[in-house]
């Protein structure tokens, strides 16, 4: 199978994270700080789109809130859709860089990627002191 066309995740933290990718830095500027560039918007949109589905959001939340920070597919597959659909959504989340997966014996465990989550949080951060050097 060729993953050549797969969307590059925002973060390469999956295995042996070492260098912050360019996309990481590009994606960390709050939306309200300055207008987003084209490439930034495409990278960030991939993340938001990955969470833009109720089922994916529940799967992601289930993994993120699961004890130990990881969850077996069997633990979270009760979201009202068929098992292949669950697998499909988990793959989407993985491709978006939000989750990582690891097979241990019979089961496959998913784990959240905290750095990507934090990057998205920063994007939505409101400027408490926007860009106004107030009274000085």
| Cβ 9 vs Cβ 96: under 8 Å | yes
Estimate to the nearest angstrom the gap between the alpha carbon of 68 and the chain centroid.
Answer: 18
Nearer to DNA, 90 or 123 (CB): 90
Nearer to a second copy, 61 or 83 (CB): 61
Query: d(Cα 13, Cα 20) in Å, to the nearest integer?
Result: 8
Binding mask 84-123 for a second copy (x = CB under 8 A): ----------------------------x-x--xx-xx--
Question: Which of the residues 35 through 74 are near a second copy (CB under 8 A)?
Answer: 35-36, 38, 41-42, 44-45, 48-58, 60-62, 64-65, 67-69
Query: d(Cα 23, Cα 43) in Å, to the nearest integer?
Result: 7
**Is residue 84 a contact point for DNA (CB under 7 A)?**
yes
Q: Give the DSSP H or E segment for 109.
A: strand 107-112
| Cβ 126 vs Cβ 30: under 8 Å | yes
Question: Which of the residues 19 through 78 are near DNA (CB under 7 A)?
Answer: 49, 52-53, 55-56, 72-74, 77
């Amino acid at each position: 199978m060729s993953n050549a066309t797969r969307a590059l995740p925002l973060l390469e933290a999956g295995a042996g994270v070492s260098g912050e990718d360019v996309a990481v830095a590009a994606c960390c500027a709050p939306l309200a700080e300055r207008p987003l560039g084209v490439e930034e918007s495409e990278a960030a949109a991939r993340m938001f789109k990955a969470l833009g589905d109720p089922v994916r959001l529940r799967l992601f939340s289930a993994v993120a809130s699961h004890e130990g920070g990881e969850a077996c597919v069997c633990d979270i597959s009760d979201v009202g859709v068929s098992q292949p659909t669950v697998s499909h959504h988990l793959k989407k989340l993985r491709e978006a860089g939000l989750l990582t997966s690891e097979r241990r014996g019979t089961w496959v465990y998913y784990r959240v990627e905290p750095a990507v989550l934090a990057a998205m949080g920063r994007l939505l951060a409101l400027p408490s002191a926007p860009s106004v050097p107030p009274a000085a």
